Structure 1
Amino acid sequence: MPTPTPPTFDQLLAEAEAAPTEGWDFSWFEGRATEARPSWGYARAMGERLGRAGAALDVQTGGGEVLASAPVLPPLAVATEGWAPNVAKASALLHPRGVVVVASPEDAPLPFADGVFDLVTSRHPVTPHFDEIARVLRTGGTYFAQHVGPSSVFELVEYFLGEQPAEVRGARDPEGERAAAEAAGLDVVSLRAERLRMEFHDIGAVVHFLRKVVWMVPGFTVDAYRPRLRELHERIGEEGPFVAHSTRHLFDAVKR
């Protein structure tokens, strides 16, 4: 049986550019890219917390996929999201579960009264606004979240943008975020961090990742980076998958 002809550089680019980017469903990457998962199993642990909560808020919910994975949701369940395509996707997914989805810009104050929730969750917030999180939590309420850590996937970022300054590489430092959380009135019960291997097996996976996770290479387009993309395509063909490392940390904090 003849060996299938591998797709060309242009075919891979066209396929990746045509793929939808809304939501946080990463199934498109199956067989094309891999990422190790943190040992703590955030979605499972979040689901356990939600099952015990009375009123919960999921901040920057994306397309609502992680929240929707919870087996049991509290009587009052609310999610916020700032990107319009994700708001629509999250609404379609979460409304049948009784979750209220609120369109709220990432950098705006949370549109809720003080002390409404006994649990606030978030998976990969762009920026954790600890003052607002603490404000909407009841005394004794919990913030439970998985954050992106410093220099995450920077092998790929710096391939396109060059070496980044120390203040950029050190942004999202978990100890800095611990200090910010405590200053806002949260006691950090547990803070765990891990560095995880990623592999990109073709240039289409790289393009789709950068189109989906837009803050990695701001303003990324195929046309703007075509020469570097071709070089990387050839490198993957000669050397195998492009290896990078993501960083994650798990926040478990209680409002004083």
Structure 2
Amino acid sequence: MNLYHSNSEASVKKFAEATKERYEQGLQEVDQPFSGWDFSYVTGSGRLQSGILPWSYGTMARRLLDQTERMLDMGTGGGEMLSRLRPLPPYTCATEGYLPNIPIAEERLQPLGVKVLPVTDDSQLPFADGEFDLILNRHESYDEQEVRRILAVGGLFLTQQVGWSDCREINDRLGIPMPADYAGWELDRAVLQLEQCGFRILEQREANPAQRFYDIGALVYYLKTIPWQVPDFKVEQFRQPLMDIHMEMEHNGFWEVQQKRFVILAVKE
């Protein structure tokens, strides 16, 4: 009997079983709870990491706040980002379109004097003409005509957006087309629409930072939290491509995709 060969077979079998067990456990993380706009479940432990942008949205916003009296934060999520920008202007409002986030945002922001309002239609915001000096928008949809309406003359609009081609490697591997609703949403289109609406662009930048998933659980959790990437995502529907990605993670230590981000600072003239 060849004991070396027997031990090798046992080791290979044990490794394969452990790999499959990690895969099955990872798929179960799709059921982990998610609230607000807090990805710390996977980012806090380093299981999901994103490349560094050549700008800081937070720093850009912070500089603008210092010269602002009336500000709106569009799509505040659970108020995570806005609460970190304090001290806030004397009059600060926030909107949020995902209703379960409203009580989370209110609990975080109301003690800071921020009024939180639910919004379901970008073209009908519950504010008066020229109500704000500054509008912040991070990864939230907007209607440029409505943004212009509620901004005062000389008011500023700062937005960081996710481009349509963001993380398209995920869709390619799962065999799912990129969302048609956002087709072509990139920096050049956003700039053109703002200019046609009467804004002057003060700054525009775009970047394609890498995003790495270090285990399959981090990926399925991510897809569960951003339903527009793969609508109606169900792990059972994609078991084989997810297994293929899992094996790449096991071999390489990570699986990498390319993000698409752009930032615009515009003024209403």
TM-score (norm 2): 0.86
**Number of matched residues?**
249
User: Which one of 138, 153, 159 corresponds to residue 123 of structure 1?
Assistant: 138
Query: After TM superposition, what 4+ stretches of structure 1 lie above 6 angstroms from structure 2?
Result: none
Aligned to 2:38: 25
User: Which ranges in structure 1 are unaligned for 5 or more consecutive residues?
Assistant: none
1:181 aligns with 2:194: yes
Does structure 2 retain, via aligned residues, the 8 Å contact 1:146–1:249? Answer: yes
What is the DSSP-based 3-state SS (H/G/I as helix, E as strand, rest coil) of the residue aligned with 1:77? strand
Which protein is bigger by CA-based radius of gyration? Answer: 2
1:250 aligns with 2:263: yes
What is the DSSP-based 3-state SS (H/G/I as helix, E as strand, rest coil) of the residue aligned with 1:52? coil
User: Which one of 238, 245, 252 corresponds to residue 251 of structure 2?
Assistant: 238
User: Which one of 242, 251, 255 corresponds to residue 229 of structure 1?
Assistant: 242
Q: Structure 2: which amino acid aligns with 1:8?
A: R
Two-structure CA RMSD over aligned residues (Å): 2.0
User: Following TM superposition, by how much is the alpha carbon of 1:226 offset from its aligned partner in structure 2, in angstroms?
Assistant: 2.5
Does structure 2 retain, via aligned residues, the 8 Å contact 1:81–1:106? Answer: no
Q: Distance in 1 between matches of 2:176 and 2:32?
A: 27
Aligned to 1:63: 78
Q: Distance in 2 between matches of 1:54 and 1:181?
A: 23
Instruction: Note closer, same or farther for the CA distance 1:164–1:144 as it changes in structure 2 (3 Å cut).
Output: closer
What is the DSSP-based 3-state SS (H/G/I as helix, E as strand, rest coil) of the residue aligned with 2:27? helix
What is the DSSP-based 3-state SS (H/G/I as helix, E as strand, rest coil) of the residue aligned with 1:72? coil
TM alignment of 1:161-172, pairs within 5 A = 161-162=175-176, 164=178, 171-172=184-185
User: Following TM superposition, by how much is the alpha carbon of 1:163 offset from its aligned partner in structure 2, in angstroms?
Assistant: 5.7
User: Following TM superposition, by how much is the alpha carbon of 1:157 offset from its aligned partner in structure 2, in angstroms?
Assistant: 2.1
Aligned to 2:225: 212
Aligned to 1:151: 165
Q: Distance in 2 between matches of 1:128 and 1:54?
A: 22
Q: Distance in 2 between matches of 1:171 and 1:250?
A: 16
Does structure 1 retain, via aligned residues, the 8 Å contact 2:76–2:96? Answer: yes
Q: Distance in 2 between matches of 1:175 and 1:107?
A: 21
User: Which ranges in structure 2 are unaligned for 5 or more consecutive residues?
Assistant: 1-17
1:132 aligns with 2:166: no
What is the DSSP-based 3-state SS (H/G/I as helix, E as strand, rest coil) of the residue aligned with 2:240? helix
What is the DSSP-based 3-state SS (H/G/I as helix, E as strand, rest coil) of the residue aligned with 1:146? strand
User: What percentage of residue pairs aligned between the two structures are identical?
Assistant: 33
Aligned to 2:211: 198
TM-score (norm 1): 0.90
Does structure 2 retain, via aligned residues, the 8 Å contact 1:43–1:70? Answer: yes
